[in-house]
Amino acid sequence: QVQLVESGGGLVQAGGSLRLSCAASGRTFSRSAMGWFRQAPGKEREFVAVVSWSSGITYYADSVRGRFTISRVIANNTVYLQMNSLKPEDTALYYCAASGAVPITTRPTRYDYWGQGTQVTVSS
């Protein structure tokens, strides 16, 4: 089994920054990508960002492009999400996930392993 553990969430004022981390452990898994998703109360889980594990190529949702940066450190088996210029509408439970799908995907159903989530709350 693969375990994903997120950290770094919290309460921040609008315009502020947070850095989320997701550490992977457990059995070897041929992942193609790691992604970040979020889910606000009463809404469906939505894609935020994805990084190709091998190449480092990234892709973002339109709502966060230019404000968020996803990165990975292969040696540490960790993926990060740097979130700048945060807005109240960014408030959600943020999940990291691992996918073995090729090509890399933004679809949640193509992700095999998920973390428990870390709460991000942005006050106005």
Q: Which value, to the nearest 10 degrees, does the dihedral of the CA atoms of residues 82, 57, 98, 95 take?
A: 20
> How much is the average pLDDT of 6-10?
97
pLDDT digits (tens, 9 = 90+) for 28-48: 778 889 999 999 999 999 999
Q: Tell me the average pLDDT of the chain.
A: 95
> How much is the average pLDDT of 40-65?
96
